A and B are shown apart, each in its own frame.
Chain A
């Protein structure tokens, strides 16, 4: 048998093995309930609750920002992020946080947010004019 075939088989085997092991790095977005139950680190996606308090007071802690978020089940929970408040956070629609539940608060160290595009803003602006 040619060496190249052996190599190809080897590559395919390693590939399959890696595919299985890589799938362990992947998960669906969790919910606050699931995070409470498991106590494990997970990613929760949801929406920012805009009428509840958003708190960032650097004089108390420059590395703590808290807000309320509503997950896929519609459950609200307080989120404590170990970073300053991101710019334009109030405007965000979708929020994804990574962390775990501690004493009823979701303690996160990563946050991704999706803001509405400026084009949408402008379109609304134009529609409201005239």
Chain B
């Protein structure tokens, strides 16, 4: 095949992009190796040159990476669809404010986002020339080497198969996909980008990934410190600088996770903030280990205990981050997760990434283990460090449990690939119950420890003098919590004894930490950070308990028929017809209509709460919405809406919507299925239509009585703009529904516009009818010009004469007439007559304005038509001498006494939707508790950075 000269492609960003990726990839490794040599070298001169090389390498790597990111933004911003990544994530109608979201929507983009933070963090550590900074940048370089390899996009044939190394974001579409369209030189003018999933087109997608990836990226710093410690055998020097960075990292990773939870809750309509989804777990588990690491780091720094544990935790945190990358990006989670990335063929490469660091760093640790100092003396039971260590082990245990269950698909895949081909994988039957069951006990222990260990002192300092204070505070807190747990227990629905223990533990954490803040901290900010975090944890326990146990569905249908579904099965969705209030669970729900805002359709739901005496207690509106794709062909996603109270949320989502309104394909199927029957109806006559309606109790036969009232020549229809059409006719109809005892009126219409006749049928949703005018009506009511019999008459201004049924008078002229059929030219004389017409026996006067135009020695007339009277008027001649005007007038002979209708029955209704409302009590405790935990971490970091 001869090579084609494609038209319109911009190829230079692709070339530069390829170079940047290669440079970034190689320079990252070069920097890592150089810094390694700097750390291992003994001579000062060698050290200096290795450092310079490493620094240059990382700078080149960083600049190449940043340039690559800028380039990808450039090709995306300019909608260069010749590039595969642009084609897959941008479209012409994607608003520019979503360009960031589109950038990191795909795997390549999120790898680049991750690299971006590594580069910035690396640049920060280049400012300082010491062994720890060098260790961190070395580690970052090695990590970047692996991530950059994910962007290489090289295909290597090996053992007869093609192995893919990375996926290049600047590769051309035609190099990725083999399709006949690429045989055309101008293919670029034929394609458009596919754009972003509407589900992701919101501000959460703009803010959540950068924060989460900063969290991911920053876990590499404590990891880098630990690697540096192992490498240089300086096992204590890194503990101090590492601590503030692990606080930094746990703050951002935690914030990222919290934002994910808030997103799921606020916008995605998952009906909760946490579902133990594997993707959620994958980022939560490293955070738990990191927090455990923060605690042991603190112990190690204060007492010299737990250095080994700190090493393990920091190594594990990063290893779990890359393991989570593997889980979410390799496609291995399959159908166990609701939101993992799609498979990209990088499974083996990702596994290599994880494997290298996993075995590399853990073996290195084992190799160095002996050299790590330990305290010979045991921690005392009365020391804070002992219980902090216990707490950390419990956290580790929690993480281990979660990650083991989450890794079940990995276990299945390994079994299938090695021991037992065709192994049928196991799945967790009820994930939420499974995880909650175990994590409840973890929370109990952590809650108690987070309170009691606060009262203890490092090394059990001055125990004999302090003993009494300790036991007093501990005892009083325990007693208060115990009493409190009995009182509060009764406010929880479906609570079991385990929950009461958790209530006790949560109370214990809250009371003890408040007590600690007041009695012990006394303005010492450094000591208060942990108390804030632990207090937050206690509040979070209550938030989780309240939202979990006291969650209630307020849209269960009290009149629902269950059939095979038994009463214990959740009945949480309610059908609402537009403008028809429906009572359920002490609320009156009304769907009052929808409004369109761009491609967002907002459904307005009115809530009225009434008390036992049917008195209105409160009223509010919620607007859950649906996002259509840019071409309005289908709904991409439904967004919930929430009413916030200080103590609860009312969360409402649209859970069902007629499928013919959801996408255009279903609408077509529906339209094709409709059968229009002809009905010929005389003036004032009635006709009957019988519908079969399925309702809760069975089938109901609805007889509808229709009546033809009259014709109208200015039909009111939501889709007709009367000013812009040439001719219109509508039939005014009335329909009476005896069961609903309601009369509905409808005016189906026909419209002539630019020579074509259009039908405007009317849908009567409550009657399940679609009523249209038969096209024959047009010829029935309108007469064509050549069939008209014009009658000539002459009038002077002020004259009035009788013509047939009409009295016609000429009252004046308009010498500046406008008409859509007339464009004024220089030198024209145009005159419109003002004829007043009154039909015999009526008092209503109608004005008609036929126009005459004199252009040079030519004359034109523009006729006027009064459809209501069936009257055509023309202005033929002006006699300036006698001031006599000549007109011709024709009246149509038409039949307005019958109408031909076409009616489809049993039409699915479009005026309904199904909603689900959930009350989440105490949801604000979840947010408050989590925010306090994160605030404590942030405060700790800031205080440690200052000292």
Mark A residues whose CB is within 8 Å of B. Answer: 2-4, 7, 11, 14-15, 18-19, 22, 25-29, 41-43, 45, 56-64, 80, 82-85, 87, 94, 96, 98, 102-103, 105, 107, 109, 112, 114, 117-119, 122-123, 126-127, 129-130
Contact of A7 among B390, B557, B693, B914 (CB under 8 A): B390
Distance, CA A126 to CA B174, complexed state (A): 10
Distance, CA A41 to CA B184, complexed state (A): 56
Nearest 7 Cβ contacts at the A-B interface: A130-B181, A84-B656, A62-B575, A58-B575, A26-B426, A25-B434, A62-B573
Distance, CA A26 to CA B430, complexed state (A): 8
B184 near A84: Cβ-Cβ < 8 Å: no
Contact of B434 among A22, A42, A58 (CB under 8 A): A22
- With A59-B695, A107-B569, A127-B177 known, 8 other A-B pairs at CB within 8 A are A25-B434, A26-B426, A27-B427, A58-B656, A82-B565, A122-B194, A126-B191, A129-B180
A103 near B404: Cβ-Cβ < 8 Å: no
B560 near A62: Cβ-Cβ < 8 Å: yes
B573 near A87: Cβ-Cβ < 8 Å: no
B430 near A25: Cβ-Cβ < 8 Å: yes
Give the distance to chain A from B515, nearest Cβ to Cβ, in Å: 27
Name the CB-closest residue of A to B424: A28
Contacts of A127 in B (CB 8 A): 177, 179-181
B190 near A22: Cβ-Cβ < 8 Å: no
Contacts of B427 in A (CB 8 A): 26-29, 43
Q: Is B5 an interface residue (CB 8 A)?
A: no
- Complex interface bits, B364-390 against A, C-beta within 8 A gives 1, otherwise 0: 000000000000001101000010011
Q: Decide if the interface of chain A is mainly helix, strand, loop or mixed.
A: mixed
B635 near A87: Cβ-Cβ < 8 Å: yes
- Complex interface bits, B409-440 against A, C-beta within 8 A gives 1, otherwise 0: 00000000000000011111110011000100
Name the CB-closest residue of B to A25: B434
Q: Is B753 an interface residue (CB 8 A)?
A: no
B662 near A87: Cβ-Cβ < 8 Å: yes
Give me 21 A-to-B residue pairs in the complex whose CB atoms sit less than 8 angstroms apart, sorted by A's number: A3-B386, A4-B378, A15-B400, A26-B428, A41-B429, A58-B914, A59-B696, A61-B560, A62-B573, A63-B565, A82-B571, A84-B573, A85-B656, A103-B564, A105-B564, A107-B564, A107-B565, A114-B334, A126-B179, A129-B180, A130-B184
A11 near B426: Cβ-Cβ < 8 Å: no
Distance, CA A84 to CA B914, complexed state (A): 8
Contacts of B180 in A (CB 8 A): 127, 129-130
Contacts of B914 in A (CB 8 A): 58, 62, 84
Contacts of B635 in A (CB 8 A): 87
Within 8 A of A (CB), among B547-580: 557, 560-565, 569-575
A60 near B190: Cβ-Cβ < 8 Å: no
Q: Is B705 an interface residue (CB 8 A)?
A: no
Distance, CA A87 to CA B628, complexed state (A): 13
Contact of A28 among B334, B426, B438 (CB under 8 A): B426
A7 near B393: Cβ-Cβ < 8 Å: yes
B393 near A11: Cβ-Cβ < 8 Å: yes
Distance, CA A61 to CA B187, complexed state (A): 50
Name the CB-closest residue of B to A113: B335
Give the distance to chain A from B222, nearest Cβ to Cβ, in Å: 23
Contacts of A114 in B (CB 8 A): 334-335
Contacts of A126 in B (CB 8 A): 177, 179, 181, 191
Distance, CA A29 to CA B389, complexed state (A): 40
Q: A19, A61, A126 — which one has the most chain B CB atoms within 10 A of its CB?
A: A126
Distance, CA A84 to CA B565, complexed state (A): 13
Distance, CA A62 to CA B13, complexed state (A): 53
Tell whether A64 pairs with B563 under 8 Å between CB atoms, given A19-B404, A22-B438, A87-B635.
yes
Contacts of A27 in B (CB 8 A): 426-427, 429
B695 near A60: Cβ-Cβ < 8 Å: yes
Give the distance to chain A from B375, nearest Cβ to Cβ, in Å: 11
Distance, CA A98 to CA B637, complexed state (A): 24
Give the distance to chain B from A118, nearest Cβ to Cβ, in Å: 6
Give the distance to chain B from A27, nearest Cβ to Cβ, in Å: 6
Distance, CA A87 to CA B636, complexed state (A): 9
A129 near B190: Cβ-Cβ < 8 Å: yes
B564 near A63: Cβ-Cβ < 8 Å: no
Contact of B694 among A60, A62, A64 (CB under 8 A): A60
Q: Is B854 an interface residue (CB 8 A)?
A: no
Tell whether A57 pairs with B564 under 8 Å between CB atoms, given A3-B378, A27-B429, A85-B656.
no
Name the CB-closest residue of A to B656: A84
Tell whether A122 pairs with B656 under 8 Å between CB atoms, given A59-B695, A130-B190.
no
Distance, CA A127 to CA B427, complexed state (A): 37
Name the CB-closest residue of A to B336: A112
Within 8 A of A (CB), among B426-482: 426-430, 433-434, 438
Give the distance to chain B from A123, nearest Cβ to Cβ, in Å: 6
B425 near A28: Cβ-Cβ < 8 Å: yes
Contacts of B695 in A (CB 8 A): 59-60
Contact of A130 among B187, B334, B696 (CB under 8 A): B187
Distance, CA A58 to CA B654, complexed state (A): 13
Contact of A60 among B197, B425, B569, B696 (CB under 8 A): B696
Name the CB-closest residue of B to A58: B575
Distance, CA A127 to CA B181, complexed state (A): 7
Give the distance to chain B from A77, nearest Cβ to Cβ, in Å: 13
Q: Is B231 an interface residue (CB 8 A)?
A: no
A130 near B179: Cβ-Cβ < 8 Å: yes
Q: Is B707 an interface residue (CB 8 A)?
A: no
Q: Is B655 an interface residue (CB 8 A)?
A: yes
Give the distance to chain B from A62, nearest Cβ to Cβ, in Å: 4
Distance, CA A60 to CA B662, complexed state (A): 20
- Complex interface bits, B168-194 against A, C-beta within 8 A gives 1, otherwise 0: 000000000101111110010011001
Q: Is B165 an interface residue (CB 8 A)?
A: no
Q: Is B342 an interface residue (CB 8 A)?
A: yes
Tell whether A129 pairs with B179 under 8 Å between CB atoms, given A27-B429, A94-B335.
yes
Give the distance to chain A from B97, nearest Cβ to Cβ, in Å: 21
Q: B183, B426, B427, B428 — which one has the most chain A CB atoms within 10 A of its CB?
A: B427
Contacts of B179 in A (CB 8 A): 123, 126-127, 129-130
Within 8 A of A (CB), among B693-712: 693-696
- Complex interface bits, B672-708 against A, C-beta within 8 A gives 1, otherwise 0: 0000000000000000000001111000000000000
Q: Is B638 an interface residue (CB 8 A)?
A: yes
Tell whether A26 pairs with B569 under 8 Å between CB atoms, given A58-B656, A60-B694, A117-B342.
no
Distance, CA A127 to CA B177, complexed state (A): 8
A18 near B575: Cβ-Cβ < 8 Å: no
Distance, CA A57 to CA B912, complexed state (A): 11
Q: Is B401 an interface residue (CB 8 A)?
A: yes
Q: Is B338 an interface residue (CB 8 A)?
A: yes
Distance, CA A19 to CA B411, complexed state (A): 14
Q: Is B163 an interface residue (CB 8 A)?
A: no
Distance, CA A117 to CA B401, complexed state (A): 32
Distance, CA A103 to CA B566, complexed state (A): 13
Q: Is B865 an interface residue (CB 8 A)?
A: no
Contact of A26 among B194, B393, B429 (CB under 8 A): B429
Tell whether A122 pairs with B561 under 8 Å between CB atoms, given A28-B426, A59-B694, A62-B573.
no
Tell whether A45 pairs with B335 under 8 Å between CB atoms, given A22-B438, A109-B569, A130-B179.
yes
Distance, CA A105 to CA B563, complexed state (A): 12
Give the distance to chain B from A12, nearest Cβ to Cβ, in Å: 10
Give the distance to chain A from B179, nearest Cβ to Cβ, in Å: 4
Distance, CA A114 to CA B561, complexed state (A): 30
Q: Is B866 an interface residue (CB 8 A)?
A: no
Contacts of A84 in B (CB 8 A): 573, 655-656, 914
Contact of A63 among B87, B334, B390, B557 (CB under 8 A): B557
Name the CB-closest residue of B to A112: B335
Give the distance to chain B from A25, nearest Cβ to Cβ, in Å: 4
B573 near A118: Cβ-Cβ < 8 Å: no
Distance, CA A59 to CA B911, complexed state (A): 12
B397 near A15: Cβ-Cβ < 8 Å: yes
Contact of A58 among B386, B401, B564, B912 (CB under 8 A): B912
Distance, CA A122 to CA B386, complexed state (A): 58
Give the distance to chain A from B279, nearest Cβ to Cβ, in Å: 14
